[in-house]
Each structure stands twice: as structure tokens, then as C-alpha cells.
Amino acid sequence: MIYAIVVMGVAGCGKTTVGKALAAALDATFYDGDDFHPPQNIAKMSQGIPLDDDHRQGWLERLRDLISEHIEQNRSIVLACSALKKRYRNLLCEGNAGLRFVYLRGDFDLIWQRMHAREGHYMKADMLRSQFDALEEPSPQEAVIIRINQSPHNIIRDVINKLAIN
């Protein structure tokens, strides 16, 4: 079976960690959406400047096309992407029938602590508030919702169970 899954949520929620483990469990190719940001976006975020919809548009289109390429080639894909707004998720779904979302949900304080502990990432902990402000949480009909206050192993188990993947 071919899987196309976006692991979404605010910065610091564990998208990359969970996405890599999920891709390994599903024998899928993993991509971190952050790797597809143009240099201008990375420069803005590195300076603590939140991106607006215009800055995200081309990036989201490239991610949508990446998903499409995998589906067309019958290759599974797991993509870590914030996908904070419903319109971003809708754009990612364009032409990508069967795309599923996994929303890693956590509270501000837990994620703030995690972000302060990580090193070498351009997204600074101070920008977390803008992520939560922009977040339009998906409904249970739109995404599998997973609480992040558990181990990565348990998160992966819950994702696989909730997606009904055998």
C-alpha cells in the first residue's frame, strides 16, 4: 500500500522525530519540509521574523508537488510540515487524493521547554508564540490528532493504530 502522510504541528512538537520513525515503520521516504524553504524564508526566521502567507505560498506549492510526484510514482511519503492553517493543508491536498494528516498536539509550555533544549535550528523558541497564534487546529475528521506528552515509540504506535495501518 502507498502512504502519503503529512506530520504537522507547531515548531518543536516533534514533527521530524515522529516523521522519520513513521517513515521507517512504513518503508516510506521521509522529507522535512523545512529543507524546502527558500533562503529568504530561512533568513527571516533566523532573524526572528515570522513568515506570512505570501512567504509560505511557493514553499507549500513545492511540497504539494513533492507529494504528487511520490503518489504518481506509487512511492510512499511522510512529510514533516507545520501546515498551521487550513488553507495550507487544503493547498497540500490539491491533486493529492488520499493525503492524510497527523497533528502532533502539545501545549505551549511543553513545546517551549523542548525548543529551549534543542540546538542548531534556525527556528528560535521566541517565535513559538507566532506559531500558536497562526495555528488553526484540524478537526478529528481532518487529521489524526496525537498528544505529544508521551514517548516517540508510543506516538508512532498511536499513529499507526489511528491510521488503521497494519
Q: DSSP letters along 105-122, please? A: E--HHHHHHHHHH--S-S
What share of the chain in percent tops pLDDT 70? 93
Pairing of strands 4-8, 77-80: parallel
Calculate the CA 77 to chain-centre distance: 12
For the chain, the structural domain boundaries read 4-162
**Inter-residue contact 89 to 79 (CB < 8 Å):** no
CATH of range 4-162; options 2.70.98.60, 3.30.70.360, 3.30.830.10, 3.40.50.300:
3.40.50.300
pLDDT digits (tens, 9 = 90+) for 92-141: 999 999 999 999 999 998 998 877 766 654 455 567 888 899 999 999 99
Give CA–CA dist 163/32, Å, rounded: 20
> Between 152-162 and 15-26, two packed helices, what is the crossing angle to 10 degrees?
60
For 148, list phi and psi in degrees, rounded to 5.
Answer: -95, 5
Give CA–CA dist 68/64, Å, rounded: 6
pTM above 0.85, yes or no: yes
